[in-house]
Structure 1
Amino acid sequence: MICLGAAEAADKPATGTEHPQEQVIGPQVDLLLRQMGDYLKSAKEFSVHVDALYDDLLASGQKIQLAASDDISVRRPDRFRVRYRTDMGGKRFWYDGKTFTLLDEAHGTYAVEQTPAGIDATLDYLIGRLGFTPPLSDLLYSDPYAILKQHVVFGFQAGMSDVEGTPCHHLAFVGKNVDWQLWIEDGKLPLPRKLVITYKTLPGAPQYMAVLSDWDFATHLPDSAFSAVIPPKADRIGFLKAAVSAGQERAKKAP
């Protein structure tokens, strides 16, 4: 799962009786995070390349590091596409404003789902109803700052460091289920350049690390760029709906 908001909300009680902890975030850290979020929020469209490393936990308890890459394109308010490649095969996703399509290139299968209008509503539907999280979903939302900050308990600045030669502010955050670090470019373009997530409540505390490069805010992609391209021999299958929580099920049955 490569989405901070979804990871933090995963263990949220269905009763609504939880008491959120007070956030402790330094003003400079909050400012840097807001500037980054506002910059992405103001962009009508953008593309970015992602090189990632992530841990896979074996049954023996040993962690194996795997590599992946993503090419992500977003056109607000209702288009995105992702090409995701790993050593174990690749997947492609398209959202064209009405439907979300997932193609599993390794297995030659695809699935199509009608989703709500808009990127935010579609991401909420994919994560909440289908149990599926597109890579780096937090940055695709219309307000990345609000999404990233909502489950933070503590945040501080770890210093300055370079990411592939680019000076960056190194920020660190603590959450209930995940700890994460973010490197934001110093200067006029407050772009996220690196992200590290530690899933501390999972066995072995696996990590996901992403380096973001080749940001493009100038290229205009036509509608056709967000239309699914399915190989002729691919087989269509259905999405499995995420299990409804016991609390939600009781609410449905209530008079």
Structure 2
Amino acid sequence: MNTKFLFLIGFLMMVISTNAQTQRIDSTAVYLLSRTTETMQDIKSCSFTAVTTYDILTNNLGLVKHAIIDKVAIKFPEKMKVTSTGDKGNRALLYNGQSLNYYSYDNNTYATTAAPNSVIETIDDVSKKYGIEFSAADFFYPSFASDIQSSSEDLVFLGKTTINGKECFHIAGRDKTKSFQFWIANDDLFLPLKMVIIYTDQKESPQFEAVYKDWVINADLPDTLFEFKAPPKATKTKFAPREKTK
């Protein structure tokens, strides 16, 4: 048999073996993320607070950390309210199943746009059009656990730890563009308590961190909570289109 052909077979087997050894998908990590996904899909309504910090790269100071506090209320499938304070100002987003309303407490201005007929579709739509991101959005997607598993080069369970006095499971992983960590509550609901993302494909590897607390599940949230009425003397504006990346 041709020795060159034998060499190619040996080289391919070595590559396959190396890939198999370096990729780690921990079944315990997959199970825990799947339990979180199941819980999120069973929720009829919820409210929580997200304390978020994120890095912005500057010319002179390098990475500068910013913070936002979001108070979130969701009534599935078609109601959502997010009230935010922090470095992006004081504002509110209200979705009632037909329209998404934005209000700036700082400027007394508001904008309204038509929206799809579900929370998840609305999150996708306004993220693509206007660059608006929503706290904990990833966890509410039905494919959350399977997407993490399929895209990860490593996904491991690191053991138990404590976040804000609550015992939780610690999971870490990485894919081609980032590394990430999740902290999942060690209770019957497996709710997310914290998430960290490090964007390893970007200059100086900026980080995103969110702590989720004050969870209330399946509370009776009135529809009026999600309706918007412009305050006196408020000025109507338009949603700004998302900036195109080069």
Query: Which category describes the TM-score, using the shorter chain as reference length?
Result: 0.7 to 0.9
CA change 1:223–1:147 in 2 (3 A) is: farther
Quote the offset at 1:88 in angstroms: 5.0
Equivalent positions of 1:64-213 (< 5 A) are 64-87=64-87, 89-141=89-141, 144-146=144-146, 148-149=148-149, 151-213=151-213
CA contact (8 A) 1:103 1:111 kept: yes
Q: Distance in 1 between matches of 2:142 and 2:236?
A: 31
Alignment length (residue pairs)? 226
* SS of equivalent residue, structure 1 residue 123: helix
Q: Distance in 1 between matches of 2:149 and 2:128?
A: 19
* SS of equivalent residue, structure 1 residue 89: coil
Q: Deviations over 1:128-169 (max 9, x none)?
A: 233322232213445543565564332111222100111111
CA change 1:100–1:88 in 2 (3 A) is: closer
Q: Deviations over 1:23-51 (max 9, x none)?
A: 85211110000001111110100111122
Aligned residues: percent identity? 25
CA contact (8 A) 2:30 2:145 kept: no
Q: Deviations over 1:66-102 (max 9, x none)?
A: 3321111111111111111104522211110001111
Q: Distance in 1 between matches of 2:156 and 2:49?
A: 27
Please name the residue that 1:4 is paired with.
none
Q: Distance in 1 between matches of 2:144 and 2:54?
A: 22
CA contact (8 A) 2:183 2:195 kept: yes
Q: Deviations over 1:207-233 (max 9, x none)?
A: 121111111014211111111243323
CA change 1:197–1:98 in 2 (3 A) is: same
The amino acid across from 2:55 in the alignment is D
> As a proportion of its length, which structure holds more helix?
2
Q: Distance in 2 between matches of 1:175 and 1:229?
A: 44
Q: Distance in 2 between matches of 1:34 and 1:231?
A: 43
CA contact (8 A) 2:36 2:139 kept: no
* SS of equivalent residue, structure 1 residue 177: coil
CA change 1:213–1:53 in 2 (3 A) is: same
Q: Distance in 2 between matches of 1:162 and 1:136?
A: 20
CA change 1:100–1:217 in 2 (3 A) is: same
Quote the offset at 1:202 in angstroms: 2.7
CA change 1:203–1:107 in 2 (3 A) is: farther
Quote the offset at 1:65 in angstroms: 2.2
Please name the residue that 2:227 is paired with.
227
CA contact (8 A) 1:40 1:144 kept: no
Identify which range, 127-136 or 214-223, moves more after superposition.
127-136
Bigger Rg over Cα: 2
Please name the residue that 2:30 is paired with.
30
TM-score, normalised by the number of residues in structure 1: 0.79
